[in-house]
Amino acid sequence: MTVKKQVEDFDLGQICRSGQCFRMEPLSEDTYAVTAYGKYLEVKQRGMEVCFSCTEREFEEIWRDYFDLNTDYGSVKRSIDPEDAYLQAAARLGGGIRILRQELWEMIVTFIISQRNNIPRIRKCVAALCREFGEKGVDFRGKAYDMFPTSLVLAQASEETLRGCGLGYRAPYIQKTARMVRDGQVNLDDLFSMDYAGAKVQLLKLCGVGEKVADCISLFALHNIEAFPVDTHIQDTLKRYPDGFPFEQYAGFAGILQQYAFYYELFGTEE
């Protein structure tokens, strides 16, 4: 039960470390586990050969889109201004990153958790939340795994229990946002038919969702790749452009470049 594909511009390690997905874990140097859409997947990469532990049908129904395999990232990198030494270096270092098409509700919760937080701690909080509130699934080895909890389940959770997952001051934000979704104050299904600006207006209504979190959700769940989340790392990137970042030049896909830049700011001196 393995699907093999040849994929260019794809690096599992870079995707895992890029700060967009908190339920992707390394199992070995070349193998990663992903839990998404209620499914468990193991992915192994050697060069451009990528092996997915699923059926061809499941790959086509879920994982092809999840890993954004139909997008030509090579053309994105070729569009970068040859004179822009910073973006050229960022794309060389993190050029295996792809913008994952993740579950909307999961991204709302995890990026509320991400505020004033670091990646290892976010992962720990998300794992605790799934362990406490998520349904159980069974993988292809017969081992149990935790699914991401639904908005209905989290709407019914007590603030005390949420805090027990390490969420701190974010616990009431998640509780209130879950209740807003449950009560129809924001209809998540409607966001998929909206443009970036319209969807962002709706996201900003949710408790604990500000500009940066709304842009992260837009980029990583709604796949609005013009979204350009700005945190402290990207603020450092923008300081490199005294005349302003060339958003007009990269209109429609600046979010991909944001991921290259974010990765470069994190790991540019390490790899």
54 sits in the region (left: phi over 0; alpha: psi -120 to 50; else beta) called: beta
Q: Quote the CA–CA distance of 15 and 7 in Å, as a whole number.
A: 14
Neighbouring residues of 232: CB distance < 8 A, sequence distance ≥ 6: none
20-to-41, 100, 101, 150 alpha-carbon distances in Å:
17, 8, 10, 20
Token output for 86: 């910073």
Catalytic positions are 212
d(CA 230, CA 112): 15
Angle at which helices 211-220 and 104-113 pack, to 10 degrees?
Answer: 140
Question: Distance between CA atoms of 108 and 105, rounded to whole angstroms?
Answer: 5
Number of C-beta neighbours around residue 227 at 10 A: 21
Give the residue among 101, 116, 88, 55 at the shortest CA–CA distance from 260.
88
How far apart, in whole angstroms, are the C-alpha atoms of residue 188 and residue 159?
23
Contact at 8 Å (CB) between 227 and 56?
no
How many angstroms separate the first and last alpha carbons of the chain? 34
In degrees, rounded to 5, the angle at the alpha carbon of residue 219 between the alpha carbons of residues 90 and 44 is: 65
